[in-house]
Amino acid sequence: MQTNRRDLLLAGACAASTAILWSPVTRLSAEGPNPPPETTTIRLAKNPVICIAPQYVVSDLLNAEGFTNVVYVQSDAGVEQTKAVGKGDIDFTLHFSGPLLLQIDRGLSITILAGIHVGCFELFAREGIRSVADLKGRTVGTQGLETSPHVFLSAMATLVGLDPAKDIEWVTSGPVKPIELFAEGKIDAFLGFPPEPQRLRAQNIGRVIVNSAQDRPWSQYFCCMLASNREFVRKNPIATKRVVRAMLRATDLCVSEPALVARRMVDRGFTARQDYAVQTLADVPYNRWRDYDPEDTIRFYALRLREAGMLKSSPAKIVADGTDWRFLKEVRRELGG
């Protein structure tokens, strides 16, 4: 998908009051004295998940940073997306840290660059299930093993003393999606990400026993993080910094102009339900990237997943092999973080 001049002007006009899209920082970065990006094409992931709203409204900001060709590559929201980044088929994506850590541990060429937002996952359960510990021996639906919901719930299970591989009966995607099985009462629990929680709440299905945006310790760490292909970062440091800056400014836009963001997500075909998009933008904390340390998130989840037997490397090795905070530090100084 390419943005055109009309879209760019519309975005600037709609957000003029907040001075997010066209501040002096953006203009100077795009026009000089800094050198232009090494490439003018950026490939981003596109999938059904809508909590990664900054990724879906960042194209105008990327245009302002000197990228003339912003392409969205269709992917899943889990394992294949992670592998596509590692293989260089996708340049950047917002993704839950857990699946990224698994692939970094296996040697894939992935670099995590910044934390974007805190929790968006919600764990729904049937009556009689009040906590994660109550999931022992229960059926839990997930899109597949090593997807974001599976990894996240595995981390939660480990923290309360369960063995996620033995104590939970995982029901993965087949002819009927796990969310439909839960809605029909055929499985005990389902962990969803937007727009799935919004749908289940609207239909009054199940009850939420964990909300990662509100419940500790999950609310103390980033959920989705900005990741790139390691070789892209090495070869294109100017472009990488510009993408980091654009994505964080798009994250700010989700806080200051949620109605505009929701409307543009629908208009550009990233989601069909504007009401679910509006609710997601209200539910997900997009205002923490200046406050939280993304390295804390990596260490926390790396330790949980190592305890679950899903990760071999130590947290320190994962940080050394799979993160680069240089660009985030520079952008934080520029944007007042």
In tens, the pLDDT along 174-202 reads 776 888 889 988 999 998 888 888 889 88
Instruction: Show which of 193, 211, 229 is a domain's final residue.
Output: 211
The answer to whether residues 46 and 186 belong to one domain is: no
Specify the pLDDT at position 324.
97
At 33, is the pLDDT very low, low, confident or very high (cuts 50, 70, 90)? low
Q: State the CATH number of the domain containing residue 253.
A: 3.40.190.10
The answer to whether residues 103 and 159 belong to one domain is: no
Q: What does the mean pLDDT of the chain come to? A: 86
Q: How many CB atoms sit inside 10 A of residue 268's CB?
A: 16
The answer to whether residues 302 and 191 belong to one domain is: no
Nearest to 92 by CA among 105, 110, 78, 108: 110
Instruction: Report the predicted TM-score, pTM, of the whole model to 2 decimal places.
Output: 0.85
The answer to whether residues 31 and 52 belong to one domain is: yes
Is residue 112 helix, strand or coil?
strand
The answer to whether residues 113 and 87 belong to one domain is: yes
Residues 6+ positions from 86 with CB-CB distance below 8 Å: 103, 108, 109, 110, 229
Q: Which helix (H) or strand (E) holds 326?
A: helix 326-335
Instruction: Show which of 211, 229, 246 is a domain's final residue.
Output: 211
What whole-number distance in Å separates Cα of residue 322 and Cα of residue 229? 10
Instruction: Show which of 159, 193, 211 is a domain's final residue.
Output: 211
The answer to whether residues 133 and 103 belong to one domain is: no
Count of the separate structural domains present in the chain: 2
Helices (H) and strands (E) in the chain, counts: 17, 10
The answer to whether residues 90 and 129 belong to one domain is: no
What whole-number distance in Å separates Cα of residue 41 and Cα of residue 114? 21
The answer to whether residues 133 and 21 belong to one domain is: no
The answer to whether residues 185 and 140 belong to one domain is: yes
The answer to whether residues 230 and 272 belong to one domain is: yes
Query: For residue 185, what are the CA distances in angstroms to 63, 124, 150, 170, 240?
Result: 47, 12, 20, 15, 46
At 337, is the pLDDT very low, low, confident or very high (cuts 50, 70, 90)? low
Specify the pLDDT at position 76.
78
What whole-number distance in Å separates Cα of residue 294 and Cα of residue 325? 9
The answer to whether residues 311 and 256 belong to one domain is: yes
What whole-number distance in Å separates Cα of residue 171 and Cα of residue 321? 33
The answer to whether residues 90 and 234 belong to one domain is: yes
State the residue range of the domain holding 269.
5-119+220-335
pLDDT tens, residue by residue, 205-255: 988 999 988 999 999 999 899 999 999 999 999 999 999 999 999 999 999
Nearest to 95 by CA among 109, 122, 71, 75: 75
pLDDT(281) > 60: yes
Residues 6+ positions from 305 with CB-CB distance below 8 Å: 98, 101, 102, 151, 154, 155, 158, 311
pLDDT(5) > 90: no
Rg, Å, the chain Cα set: 19
Q: Do the Cβ atoms of 301 and 155 come closer than 8 Å?
A: yes
Specify the pLDDT at position 149.
86
